[in-house]
Amino acid sequence: MRIHMIIPVLTTATTLFEPAPLLAQDAGDVGHGREIAQTICSACHVVAKGQLVSPNSEAPPFPALAATPGMTVMALTAALLTSHRRMPNIILQPDERRDVIAYILSLK
Ligand code: HEC
């Protein structure tokens, strides 16, 4: 009888505490994404709101990408996984890609 009362409490505790880190991971780490953007992508793209001049006028500024209607994690993932005519194929690890996408979308 006593055991039956304890088990539901434990189960509830785990379901309450587990989703938070999982969600945070899915959403990407904006701070790390900003670092990647500043070290890799800024060679061509405007990567921050205050930055006015794009090193490469053909590369869309990240704030503009973020403001594009319908821009989602899915659309950016697809964009980064397909090759572009004038953008070199930069190989990002899946977690780096997720973080940089989280950063771009944080500019909305
Ligand atoms: C050497 C220059 C260069 C670097 C470095 C670069 N880009 Fe680009 N990127 C471009 C150019 C030029 C375009 C636009 C033309 C094209 O799509 O090829 C572009 C387009 C894009 C687009 C829009 C694609 C689309 O389908 O509309 C995204 C998203 C993007 N870049 C993300 C990134 C990210 C994230 C990084 C850093 C990890 C990065 N770029 C690094 C040059 C670059």
* 8 Å CB contact between 80 and 92: yes
Along the 108 residues of the chain, how does pLDDT read in single tens digits?
565 555 555 555 444 444 444 444 467 999 999 999 999 999 999 999 888 788 898 899 999 999 999 999 999 998 888 877 777 778 899 999 999 999 999 998
* Residue 20 covered by a domain: no
Task: Check residue 22 and give its pLDDT.
Answer: 46
Displacement of CA 31 from its chain's centroid (Å): 10
107 close to ligand 1 (CB < 6 Angstrom): no
Return all residues near 96 (Cβ < 8 A) that are at least 6 apart: 32, 33, 36
Site to probe by mutation for ligand 1, drawn from 40, 41, 68, 96 as the one with most ligand atoms within 8 Å of Cβ, is 41
Its sign, for the CA torsion 21, 24, 25, 31, is negative
Domain at 63, CATH number = 1.10.760
Task: Check residue 89 and give its pLDDT.
Answer: 74
Å from CA of 23 to ligand 1 middle: 27
Task: Check residue 20 and give its pLDDT.
Answer: 45
* Residue 8 covered by a domain: no
* Residue 11 covered by a domain: no
Count of domains observed in the chain: 1
* Residue 10 covered by a domain: no
- Structure tokens that stand for 13 in this block: 């505790």
DSSP string over 20-51: HHHHHHHH--HHHHHHHHHHTGGGTS--STT-
User: Mapping DSSP to helix (H, G, I), strand (E, B) and coil, where does residue 61 land?
Assistant: coil
Nearest CA to ligand 1 atom 32: 80
* Residue 19 covered by a domain: no
* Residue 9 covered by a domain: no
Task: Check residue 21 and give its pLDDT.
Answer: 46
Å from CA of 31 to ligand 1 middle: 20
CA distance 91 to 97: 9
Task: Check residue 52 and give its pLDDT.
Answer: 77
Å from CA of 78 to ligand 1 middle: 12
86 close to ligand 1 (CB < 6 Angstrom): yes
pTM: 0.79
* Residue 16 covered by a domain: no
What is the domain range of residue 41? 28-106
